[in-house]
Structure 1
Amino acid sequence: MVEVYLDREELSKILKIPATSVDYYRKKKGMPHIRIGRHNRYLLSDVMDWSKGNNN
């Protein structure tokens, strides 16, 4: 299975949350991401695994 890195807008649509919430979770709660240049990218599987352990 091939996984693609998602940008903030794509991830927010999948999770059905505002894009600003993606930024908040990344900055304040430690949502897993990688930096490619000046852009943040997210693997959906990493984010889903992270969310299972952060139900607060």
Structure 2
Amino acid sequence: MGNLDDTKVKHILSTLKGLEYGSVVITVHNGEITQIDATEKKRFTLQKNEPKSPKNN
């Protein structure tokens, strides 16, 4: 693998620091980093709805 470019390494590290859930994919061609993809996932807790009471007529 060729020399790691400081700019690319810094970008990868900053992407990782800002990621809570997700993935970072580093694409390499001929020993060189050519692409960095980040996929972030947002997770939300489910809130259960209270059962509706029957209407009184």
More helix by share: 1
TM-score by length of 2: 0.30
More strand by share: 2
